[in-house]
Structures are given as C-alpha cells and as structure tokens.
Structure 1
Amino acid sequence: MTLLELSGVSVHYGRIRAVSDLTITVDEGEIVTLIGANGAGKSTTMRAISGIRPVSSGTITFEGEDITRLRADLRVVRGISQAPEGRGIFPGMTVAENLDMGAYARKDRKNLDAELDQVYELFPRLKERSSQAGGTLSGGEQQMLAIGRALMAKPKLLLLDEPSMGLAPQFIQQIFRIITEINKQGTTVLLVEQNAQQALSRAHRAYVLETGEIVKTGSGRELLADDSIKEAYLGVA
C-alpha cells in the first residue's frame, strides 16, 4: 500500500526553484532514500513533506488523503515525524524531557512509558544519560536523541534528514543499524543521506536528485551497482 505520494511537487525560495516537478512514492514498510549532492533539493523535499516549507505546485498525499495544505503540527498528528538536519534537540532540557516533547501532539498517552522503554532499548546510551542536558551530549548521542524524540510521536512515517552528518565512523554504523531495526519493527522510513553507500545498502528503493529534479530511481541494490552512481557518489571511478 502506498503510504506517501508526491505528485508533480515544486518548491520555491523566492524566485529560485529548489525542487521541480517531483513524483515520489513511499510504500508502507519500506526504507526509501533520497541521495544527491549538496543543494540537490533533498532537505527541501523533506521540509515540504513535513509541512515546514509550502509547495508551489503539485500535491502531497498521505494514506490516500491530500495533505498539501495541512499544517505541520497536524501532519505529526496524522503520523509523519521528522528528525531534522542538524538534530534540533532542546539543549537545555534533559534527555528524558526531550523525549517527552516528542509525544506532545499525541492524544493517546496511555502507552508512553512502554514506548519510552522501546526508545531506551534502541538507544541504551540515552537511558544512561536520561537526566543529562541534551546540549552536553556528543554529536552521535544527540542524533540518537533526535531520532528517539521523533519515534515518541509514534509515527507511521519517519523522516530522517542527514542522520550521519558530522558523526564519527563508529556512530555512523550504529545509526544505520538502528534505522534498519526501526524499520523491522514496523515503521516506514524516508531517508535523506549524503553517505550514499550506507543509505543504498539499507534502502529498499532510492531516488537520485540533481538540481531539484529526479534523474534516476531504482532499488538500493541496483543503484549501488550502477556505474554512474558509483562514480558520482561512491568515489569509485
């Protein structure tokens, strides 16, 4: 079943068109990744899906309903949650308080303790640091916190924008293992990532963006084997 569909979506910043006529689908249970160079329009696409950036034209459909003009907070209620680029945690709040903020839009709060336990199972380090201020965590721990906070909204679709940016190699491996585990537990994932090797090896399907347009799509495995992708994104001549 198609969970999310972008149809002919364009987004402008003033007169500059950041993405042009995008058509993307994400099926329930998938990991789908968007790859591309800096400035390709990946993060703009994520902001359009989450409702932070208005679209100039086209439609965004979620679970069969048009959400193109729906407010960002109501998209969270519908089941779309994002861990943004740059993490965006609340540095003065504790880890536990940050995680609680992730559930702010939920009407059903009965199972919060159980879901908090699930987040701590995925990220044991967050449990160890539950009373520590978010701003004192390392970069990798802050990324874990951003993902954990997004999961506390109990999303049907988890948007992850550059989760490996600025992380040490051991944290990158760990973050991608956890993304796979989150998906296995039933959450659909749309991933924007510059680490094409990791993203494509985990994704069921992928889209390649260049200057705001989709230039290639296929399974993660197909694109990993594609010579032009290897040369452009994997450093293989």
Structure 2
Amino acid sequence: MLLEVNGLCVNYGRIEAIRDITFTVEEGEVVTLIGANGAGKTTTMKTVSGLRPVRAGTIRFDGQDITHMPPHQRPVLGISQSPEGRGCFPGMTVNENLDMGAYARKDRKTKAVAEDRDRVFSLFPRLQERMNQTAGTMSGGEQQMLAMGRALMARPRLLLLDEPSMGLAPKLIAQIFDIVTEINNQGTTVLLVEQNAAQALKRANRAYILETGEIVREGTGSALAADDAVKAAYLGGDI
C-alpha cells in the first residue's frame, strides 16, 4: 500500500475538521475524495502533505510512518501537491516556477530534471509557449497547468491534486482531467480532491465521500457514479 491513513483527526483550534477518517491509496491508482464545501477534503490533503498537524491517527507512506514528518521532507519521499488555488509564484516565469518544483531533488543539477521539464511540456504544450512569461500574467487555466507541472517536477510517486478544475471553463475542465488520466497512465499515483464529482468519479479507480469531516461512503468510481443517492447528492441526479 502506498498511502495508508488510519483514524485521522485534525482540529482547527477547538473545531474538529476531520474525525477518525481511514482510507488507502494503492500504487498506480487514482483515488478521489468528494464532498461538499467544508467536508474536510482540503484539510485531508494538507494533512497528508504535512501542512496541518495531526491530533490523532497515523499516516504511512510506503510503509513509513510520516504522521509528524515536517512538510519539506515529504517531497523527498515522493509526495507532491498541486494546491487548491494553484499557488503559483506570480513574479516568477514558468521556467522558474518549474525549477521550484524540483528544488528538493538531489539530482536537480542533472539531465533528469531537463527530461522531466520536457515531460511537463509534452503534457502541457501551452507552458512551453509561455516558458518565459511570469505566472501572474497567465490565465487561470494556464496557472492550473503550471501548478500541476510544478508538482510533477518533484517526480512524485504520489501526486496530490486539490480542486484542479476550480474556476475553469467546461472545455478546459475536460482537458485537465484528460491530462490527469495521462499522468496516471505514465505511472504516477494520484489522490484527487474535486468538487466536479462527475469528472472525478469517471477517472477514479476508487472514491471516498466526506461529509462534515467523516467518510460516509466508499467504493469504486463507477459504482458510486451509478448509485442513486450519490447521483442525487453530488451529480445533479445524473452523470
């Protein structure tokens, strides 16, 4: 098992944001967390990447307990996140943002980094066209591509994608999810948080549904997409 989250509890002050959640991600999978705003999805992602402290429970990555590991050490193990809101460095160029993604790599001065940059450009040709443009002058869709490309520059075994379709036009949303599938086909395991439940379930091997900090349903992406209760709650009655 690549990622094992067991009995995880996370607080914001006295407010319990996540309550005793348990889930797994196997190597090679796309696993998605879906739920309404405030369900605890982004908190879960931040906790896996080390940005939120754990009150109770454990997080194991490839068998190693990383529950209290500092966040800057997790990319070295193979965990990389494309955050909600993209988080691009607005005054840096596309190339400079991609360089930041490779910062923790021990081989960052070798041709391997150049090869990974070429891989990012093959996935996102628009970034190659904009390589010397500052991120702050790019469209929302281009910034989303850059955030994902920057995360890939760490050469992760597990890519955490938090709301990659947020604020994007429908045509671009479909393109982004096609790229998520291609990233997975190339060998990167993906944990996806997404409010566009229809697209997320379509792409996921397995899915977990969060409500008010707890996992209330789990199953294969296709099974949950076909479930009438899930359709009514998250898919507008259809998918």
Name the TM-score class by shorter chain.
over 0.9
Note if 1:147 corresponds to 2:148.
yes
Q: Which runs of 5+ in 2 are unaligned?
A: none
Distance in 2, matches of 1:66 and 1:112, equals 28
Distance 2:115 2:48 in 1: 28
AA partner of residue 7 (structure 2): G
TM-score under structure 2 length normalisation: 0.98
Distance in 2 separating the partners of 1:36 and 1:46: 13
Cα deviation for residue 42 of structure 1 reads 0.2
**Secondary structure of 1:142's aligned partner:** helix
Residues 49-72 of structure 1, C-alpha deviations (whole Å, 9 max, x = no match)? 000001100000000000001000
- In structure 1, the partner of 2:220 is 219
1:167-194, Cα deviation, whole Å (9 max, x unpaired): 0111100100000000000000000000
Counterpart check, 1:32 vs 2:42 = no
In the TM superposition, structure 1's runs of 4+ consecutive aligned residues that sit over 4 Å from their partners are none
Distance 2:169 2:97 in 1: 23
Name the aligned partner's letter for residue 36 of structure 1. G
- 1:169 is matched with 170
Partner of 1:102: 101
Instruction: State the partner residue of 1:112.
Output: 113
Q: Please give the per-residue CA displacement for 1:129-184, whole angstroms capped at 9, x wherever unaligned.
A: 00000011100000000000000000000000000000011110010000000000
1:176-215 alignment to 2 at 5 Å?
176-215=177-216
Query: How does the TM-score come out when normalised to structure 1?
Result: 0.99
What 5-or-longer segments of structure 1 have no aligned partner? Answer: none
Partner of 1:48: 47
Query: How far did 1:108 drift?
Result: 1.4
> Which residue does 1:138 correspond to in 2?
139
SS at match of 2:132: coil
Q: Distance in 1 between matches of 2:115 and 2:58?
A: 36
Q: Report the counterpart of residue 79 of structure 2 in structure 1.
A: 80
